[in-house]
Amino acid sequence: MKARSKTEMAKLRRLEARSQQIRERLGICGPGEVIYQAPQSRWSENDVVVEANGLGGAKMLIVEGNYPIDYSIKSQRLFETEDGACEAADKIASRHA
Rounded mean pLDDT, 8-32: 96
Rounded mean pLDDT, 41-60: 93
Dihedral (C-alpha) 84, 85, 90, 92: value to the nearest 10 degrees? 110
Q: What is the pLDDT of residue 4?
A: 74
Helix (H, G, I), strand (E, B) or coil at 58: strand
Fold (topology level) of 28-95: Viral Envelope Glycoprotein; domain 2 (3.30.67)
Which of the four pLDDT bands, split at 50, 70 and 90, describes residue 3?
A: low
Cα 51 to Cα 2, 8, 41, 57, distances in angstroms: 35, 28, 19, 9
Contact 33, 87 (CB under 8 A): no
Which of the four pLDDT bands, split at 50, 70 and 90, describes residue 82?
A: very high
Q: Is the predicted pLDDT of residue 89 greater than 80, yes or no?
A: yes
Q: Is the predicted pLDDT of residue 38 greater than 70, yes or no?
A: yes
Q: What is the pLDDT of residue 96?
A: 57
Enumerate residues 6+ apart whose C-beta is below 8 A from 13: none
Mean pLDDT for the chain? 93
